[in-house]
């Protein structure tokens, strides 16, 4: 008799300083191999990486996959490609399958890599200005495996993003 109202706002605002601090904390957690491995990611021995900015010009998904394999993320790609049937009532409500979150690629600006990387299952690609705590720490669990480009790291430092 009292269904949810369409005009009700179901999202909550967060303080700017608190949001920036959460993003900085999640960014720091992506650099610690122990935290990333504890979250369940399969990372290579020489993690973390800052990738050359030439990677941003890759426009084919096949080339992105080859680059990630060369860096040693083959186990991580296989882990995020697996799909599991969800337990519970969600299976009947249009949420049948569960997938694990994979690699996050952070670029400096809008580039062909964003589109080609989003075609891969489990891989997310985002501009550095569009970063948020949910991308860096899905499910409020910090330490997602992240690839940063040189220009993205430079942009964070130059523009003092999230400070």
How far apart, in whole angstroms, are the C-alpha atoms of residue 128 and residue 135? Answer: 11
The pTM of this model reads 0.88
Per-residue pLDDT of 28-82, as tens digits, reads 999 999 999 999 999 999 988 899 989 999 999 999 999 999 999 999 999 999 9
Beta strands in the chain (DSSP E): 50-51, 83-85, 97-99, 104-107, 124-127, 146-149
Token pair 């991308």 is found at: 135
Residue 9, pLDDT > 90, answer no
Sign of CA dihedral 93, 138, 125, 109: positive
Backbone angles phi, psi at 25, to 5 degrees: -65, -40
Token pair listed for 55: 């990677």
How far apart, in whole angstroms, are the C-alpha atoms of residue 101 and residue 40? Answer: 10
Distances (CA, A) of 29 to 66, 124, 161: 26, 17, 17
Average pLDDT over residues 11-31: 93
Q: Using the 8-state DSSP alphabet, how is residue 86 labeled?
A: P
Extract long-range pairs of 123-129: CB within 8 Å, 24+ residues apart: 123/64, 123/68, 123/77, 123/80, 128/152, 128/155, 128/156, 128/161, 129/155, 129/161
Per-residue pLDDT of 114-151, as tens digits, reads 999 988 998 999 999 999 999 999 998 999 999 999 99
How much is the pLDDT for 151?
A: 94
């Amino acid at each position: 008799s009292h269904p949810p109202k369409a005009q009700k706002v179901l999202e909550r605002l967060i303080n700017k300083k608190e949001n920036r601090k959460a993003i900085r904390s999640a960014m720091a957690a992506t650099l610690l191999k122990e935290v990333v491995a504890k979250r369940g990611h399969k990372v290579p021995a020489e993690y973390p990486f800052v990738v050359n900015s030439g990677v941003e010009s890759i426009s084919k998904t096949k080339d992105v996959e080859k680059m990630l394999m060369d860096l040693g993320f083959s186990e991580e790609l296989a882990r995020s490609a697996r799909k599991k049937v969800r337990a519970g009532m969600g299976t009947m409500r249009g949420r049948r399958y569960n997938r694990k979150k994979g690699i996050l690629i952070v670029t400096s600006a809008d580039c062909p890599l964003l589109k080609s990387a989003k075609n891969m299952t489990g891989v997310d690609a985002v501009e550095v200005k569009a970063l948020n705590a949910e991308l860096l720490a899905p499910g409020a669990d910090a330490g997602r495996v992240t690839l940063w480009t040189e220009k993205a790291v430079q942009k964070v430092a130059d523009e003092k993003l999230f400070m």
